[in-house]
Structure 1
Amino acid sequence: MDLSPHASTRKLPILLAALFALCLCLSSFGQLHASAHAHAPQPDLSTKSVFATAMNGDIYSFNAQTGAIRWKYQLLGSDAAASPVVSQGTLYVGTTAGELLALNAKTGALLWFYHTGGTIYGPPVIYNNMVYFGSQDGSVYALHAQNGTTVWQYKTGGPIDGTVAAANGTIFVGSEDTFLYALDSRMGNLHWRYQTGATVTPPAVHAGTVYAGSLDNNLYALRATDGHLLWQYATRNGIAALPTVAGSSVYVSSGDGSVYALQKDTGQLQWKTPLFREVYSSPTVSGHTVYVGASTWLYALNASTGATRWSTGLNGRFSDSKPAVAEPLVYMTSGFYLYAIDTQTGTIRWQYATPTRFHYRMDMGSPVVG
């Protein structure tokens, strides 16, 4: 059923591909710079890996403690377009050729791949031993996580730019056709859809509520069971990033250059922090801190007040990277660089730089720690 409050034929331009190329990747010909952590004792991150994908087609696993490369997988004839996701020893990555790859997270060996009809910009979601993801061909796909065989496919009315969300047997996905869809996770049947005024960007689901931004400048909160509108909040520009729910708040960044904290049940503004830069990075909340990228800066904000704890300038250019936290480090990309930054001080602990290859722009997206 169509729960649209109004019909709208307005279509905003397609999101920048980089907006949802949420993956980190680097070349083995790059340079690594490290400095010892000044505070002791610290948790040992040497058993953890940072997974990253580059727009030159390379997929990497790094030692989370030191930045040393564990393995590299090279794509042939395509680029990595989506942020990687790791689950139960398997790394899943989408590509510009429309392929979803499953790699052994420990070795980088290819396990299986699945081909769609369009670029996969959004990272997949692993739910109940299934892999769910959207493609620029307009379809949502459900595959068996073990072998990549098709369970179902659902066609929306426009390209899908970002990730999906899953909860209570339902898959939620936004499309460029201005609708947010709720699909049965087992069969792919439509439960409901809700129309906004423009492209619907990646949704988040929490405690029976779906939160989804739109390029019509609004954040929407909908009842997950039937799509009933609970509240909406208008910012001054499009919302392209995934909202983050933590505690009693939902945090969202807007193209108007600000980060917002809203009461998750009512949509009441708790605080707004203008960063005076382009903000397309999805906030990451860890403890009492919100980490968010803006232009070539990483900010750490007080989760209760929005006050800036610290900010660190990064090399590179505009970045929409979603920070990844594994205490005591937060990982972030900007331009040609991957950074590991101290969560308490904002000090860069190590960084990895990629070279320019045939003037190809190897901009990086979001790191994933596993």
Structure 2
Amino acid sequence: MTMRRARWKRWVGVLAGVGLLAGCGRAQLYGSPELPRAPRQPPVEYFQVDWWKGLVEKVPLLEYSPREPASPVYEPESRNVIAQTRDGYIHAVGPDGKVSWSFKTGAPALAGAMASEGVVFAPGGDGTLYALDGITGAVKWKYPTQESLATVPVLADGLVLVATDTDTVFAVKASDGTWVWQYRRDPPSGFTIRGASAPKVDQGTAYIGFSDGFLVALKVDDGGVVWEKSLSGTGTEFLDVDTTPAIDSAGRLYVASYKNGLYALEADSGAVLWNTSVGGMTSVLARGEVVFAAGDSRVDAYLGETGRLIWSLPLKDKTALAPVLARGMLLIPNQNALLFVDPTTGKTRLSWNPGRGISAPPYVVGSRVYVLTNNAYLYSLDMNNVQKGPRG
């Protein structure tokens, strides 16, 4: 056996060891509910559509290229799926695909909500962080930040953390919305990339990136700085560290600078372990010993220990948004479609566009995947009953 084949088998073994291998199925490809199409049989398919629901009733007459950037979330106590749409509403959709309640905010949201113990924490596009009852939609409390909230909230040690697109992190009490602390950095003078890094919390520390190219470790309890690290070097433009950091089982911290590529760092000190120097990355996902990085025109898989490239999927002129794993498949929205990618090889097994594309990361609960499309249709996909067959 050659050394190259030996390394390949090792990588496949690493991926299989963390449950990423997937089987192939054969079923229907579903189109837009607005424009019914005859079903056709693609080479493989990995899901069945359980239900879909249109959430925006009044579409602007000459609306061009609608975009829904807020990811949905499942609230287990009410069994509702929470979705925020470009008309400024927060919707709760029940397991039957019917809207349970809707709540009007002041502006379209840039990021999705987070749910915990029957409470939905939703970042409104109006700069207000809302705590809503998951069953009724009633307001428990709200905290006005006076800035544009740009990340999914994070719950840690009784606090809700959320970041803005102007480089501020707010921490408020989850119980009543009382302000506890905030941390702010001055944005660079030049151009920046749309988006923001959400905090990644581990062992009492919140790791978060900023548009000036710094990654900062903050104490969750009081916002004190543990350490900070410059990842983008000098300059004034496109220095952003907008990726939400990821931490693997070995304690390595992964984050990407848009300018300088993917980094692996020591979580306790910020010391650099390795760097890929592949620019344009905007999201990372770590599973086991593998880290996936997605961004402008590509998706990559790297070996976490060394940074060795396992595979790279080119996307031409498309931008890959935050990937998720579901039933052994890597699901990647690229604004035009949702890609089903084999995580062991980087091969696209299916490209699903239900109409107007997909800009928000799906939300996965067991075998169920919830997808919000750019035409504001919420889909419930069931990946549990797919018949497995030979690899396509």
Cα deviation code 1:291-350 (max 9, x no counterpart): 111232111122222223322123114x4311222344322233213333343799xxxx
Could you state the TM-score of these two structures normalised by the residue count of structure 1? 0.75
Distance 1:275 1:137, change over 3 A: closer
- Of residues 107-116 and 215-224 in structure 1, the stretch that sits farther from structure 2 once superposed is 215-224
For 2:29, the equivalent position in structure 1 comes to none
2:313 and 2:229 map into 1 onto residues whose CA distance is 29
What's the secondary structure of 2:282's corresponding residue? coil
Does 1:280 pair with 2:320? Answer: yes
Which residue matches 1:130? 159
The 5-angstrom pairing of residues 1-370 of structure 1 reads 26-27=55-56, 48-63=79-94, 65-75=95-105, 77-158=106-187, 161-197=196-232, 198-201=239-242, 202-207=244-249, 208-235=251-278, 237-241=279-283, 243-255=284-296, 257-317=297-357, 319-336=358-375, 337-343=377-383
Deviation at 1:123, TM superposition (A): 0.9
Partner of 1:7 in structure 2?
A: none
Q: Which runs of 5+ in 2 are unaligned?
A: 1-52, 60-75, 189-194, 233-238, 387-392
Q: Is the contact made by 2:88 and 2:125 (CA closer than 8 Å) also made in structure 1?
A: no
Give the total of aligned pairs: 303
Measure the CA separation in 2 of the matches of 1:314 and 1:217.
Answer: 35
- Residue type matched to 2:104 in 1? Q
Distance 1:190 1:263 in 2: 30
TM-score (norm 2): 0.71
User: Counterparts of 2:229 and 2:309 in 1: how far apart (Å)?
Assistant: 23
Alpha carbons of structure 1 residues 69 and 29: separation in structure 2 relative to 1, 3 Å: farther
* Residue pair 2:157, 2:220 contacting (<8 A) in 1 also: no
Contact 1:123 1:162 in 2 (8 A): no
Q: 1:17-36, CA deviations, whole angstroms, 9 ceiling, x for partnerless residues?
A: xxxxxxx9923679xxxxxx
* Cα 1:92–1:167 shift into 2, 3 Å: same
- Return 5+ residue gaps in structure 1 as ranges: 1-23, 31-44, 347-370
Shift of 1:166: 0.4
Report the more deviating stretch, 47-56 or 85-94: 47-56
Tell whether the 8 Å contact from 2:77 to 2:134 is kept in structure 1 after alignment: no
Which SS does the other structure have where 1:27 is aligned?
Answer: coil
The alignment-based identity, stated in percent, is 28
Runs of 4+ in structure 1 over 6 Å off: none
CA distance in 2, matches of 1:100, 1:141: 10
Residue 18 of structure 1 is matched in structure 2 by: none
Task: Tell me, in whole angstroms, the C-alpha distance in 1 between the residues paired with 2:328 and 2:107.
Answer: 40
